[in-house]
């Protein structure tokens, strides 16, 4: 099947900076695709090229198999990292103003329900909380009923509760069949929302795939932790085990075999923990530096 949108070997140079350094990926209809990476990785620049806002230095972008054209422009919605809202307007007036810019528009009442704006329609846009503002910006991005919506770090700066609420909205948008491409530096957000992620660092994709598969592929072993007091006296540590900070850490490719072995040597398993690595651990493993500085 032809992907909805595809990037082939995109490069974007700024004076002295290779902001995007050869990025390729394809997004299928209905997917939520995440570009995950730290500040400055090149996520926004990549998004802006896919949005048609800036031209690549080299490389190709295809929308439904065609170079970017008017169909693309009319089929997308964008939630920018920062959008200036018109002053002295209410939420409802803002929505109407943006809707008037398009030939095609979403059903207003449905959009208001979808983005939970019913209670704040008459509120001045300068008086909105961070979460309310993001909900309005999402509604504005959806005002032309786009097939594909771009969300650039949509939850940066929100408190954890507002972030979770916003995730619920993005899930609703997807259930309606809208394709979503988002950027984030929150691995939890990528794991929760995206069925595919590309991990971006220094302008390149360093790993891509389904979040759980990516983690499994790079961390075949499970990590087991025990307090060091749980280890039987006089028993040497197993090969590959690490001891430090009052804990013993073991790596097990076969979890049940490892548990059987620990039982056999008489370790106390009552406080044993099995840790599952996540995308943050993966990023650290691949780059040697943390996702968030
Ligand atoms: N207009 C510009 N002129 C010069 N350099 C730029 C410009 N825009 C971005 N850059 C540089 O390109 C690199 C990638 O920036 P970009 O904004 O795409 O990263 P990002 O991953 O989206 O990070 P952030 O989350 O901070 O937006 C950075 O080094 C940035 O300083």
* pTM for this model (two decimals): 0.85
Residue closest via CA to ligand 1's atom 26 equals 39
Spell 182-218 as b/e; 16+ CB within 10 A means b.
Answer: bbbbbbebbbbbbbbbbbbbebbbebbbebeebbeee
Output the CA–CA distances (angstroms, integers) from residue 242 to 46, 67, 224, in the order listed: 41, 54, 11
CATH class of 5-216: alpha beta
pLDDT in tens, the chain (293 residues): 899 999 999 999 999 999 999 999 999 999 999 999 888 999 999 999 999 999 999 999 999 999 999 899 999 999 988 777 777 789 999 999 999 888 888 899 999 999 999 999 999 988 898 899 999 999 999 999 999 999 999 998 888 888 999 999 999 999 999 999 999 988 889 999 999 999 999 999 999 999 988 888 888 778 899 999 999 988 888 887 888 889 998 888 888 999 999 999 999 999 999 887 888 888 887 887 776 65
Domain ranges of the chain: 5-216, 220-276
Residue nearest to atom 18 of ligand 1 (CA): 42
Using an 8 Å Cβ cutoff, are 206 and 219 in contact? no
Give yes or no for residue 40 CB within 6 A of ligand 1. Answer: yes
Asked whether 44 lines ligand 1 (CB < 6 A), one says: yes
- Cβ 154 under 6 angstroms from ligand 1: no
Q: For residue 162, give the 3-state DSSP assignment.
A: helix
Identify the pLDDT of residue 18: 95
Task: Please give the structure tokens belonging to residue 223.
Answer: 């990590």
Helix 91-99 vs helix 130-141: crossing angle, to nearest 10? 20
């Amino acid at each position: 099947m032809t992907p909805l949108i595809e990037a082939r070997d995109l490069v974007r140079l700024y004076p002295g900076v290779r902001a995007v350094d050869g990025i390729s990926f394809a997004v299928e209809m209905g997917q939520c695709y995440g570009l995950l990476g730290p500040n400055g990785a090149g996520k926004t620049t990549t998004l802006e090229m896919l949005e048609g806002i800036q031209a690549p230095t080299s490389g190709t972008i295809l929308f439904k198999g065609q170079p970017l054209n008017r169909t693309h422009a009319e089929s997308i919605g964008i939630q920018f990292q920062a959008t200036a809202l018109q002053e002295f307007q209410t939420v409802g007036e803002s929505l109407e103003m943006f809707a008037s810019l398009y030939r095609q528009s979403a059903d207003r009442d449905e959009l208001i329900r979808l983005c939970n704006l019913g209670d704040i329609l008459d509120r001045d846009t300068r008086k909105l909380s961070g979460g309310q503002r993001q909900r309005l910006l999402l509604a504005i991005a959806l005002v032309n009923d786009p097939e594909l919506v771009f969300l650039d770090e949509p939850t940066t700066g929100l408190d954890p509760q507002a972030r979770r609420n916003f995730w619920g909205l993005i899930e609703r948008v997807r259930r309606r069949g809208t394709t979503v491409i988002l950027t984030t530096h929150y691995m939890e957000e990528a794991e929760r929302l995206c069925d595919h992620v590309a991990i971006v660092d220094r302008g390149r994709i360093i790993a891509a795939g389904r979040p759980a598969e990516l983690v499994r592929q790079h961390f075949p072993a499970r990590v087991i932790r025990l307090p060091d007091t749980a280890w039987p006296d006089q028993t040497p540590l197993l090969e590959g085990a690490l001891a430090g900070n009052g804990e013993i850490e073991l790596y097990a490719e076969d979890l049940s075999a490892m548990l059987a072995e620990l039982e056999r040597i008489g370790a106390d398993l009552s406080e044993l923990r099995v840790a599952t690595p996540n995308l943050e651990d993966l990023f650290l493993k691949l780059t040697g530096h943390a996702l968030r500085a």
